[in-house]
Amino acid sequence: MAKLIQICASQNDLFGLDGEGVVYHYNFNTNSWMRLGSGKQDGTRAAKGRMNDRLETAPVSRRDA
């Protein structure tokens, strides 16, 4: 397995990213990393159009947060 350059953890999951863009998921039952993706590929493009240009949430005052 490649050296992980970034790790993301939540309460129940653990993910890792290597230098080639491959994502791994840690399986706690088998104590091993499972490869999820194929990594960066030539010819991939960013999505067209604007994404997340407007959030649909109501503002909250600091006292309510």
Taking CA 38 as the corner, what is the angle to CA 35 and CA 44, rounded to the nearest 5 degrees?
150
Which of 40, 41, 37, 32 lies closest to 14 in space, CA to CA?
A: 32
pLDDT, residue 16, reads: 93
* Angstrom distances, CA of residue 16 to CA of 2, 6, 11, 29, 44: 10, 6, 15, 17, 21
CA distance 4 to 24: 9
Rounded to two decimals, what is the model's pTM? 0.57
pLDDT tens string for the chain (65 positions)? 679 999 999 988 999 999 888 899 999 999 999 998 776 665 555 555 554 455 455 555 566 44
Which of 9, 8, 5 lies closest to 21 in space, CA to CA?
A: 5
pLDDT, residue 65, reads: 46
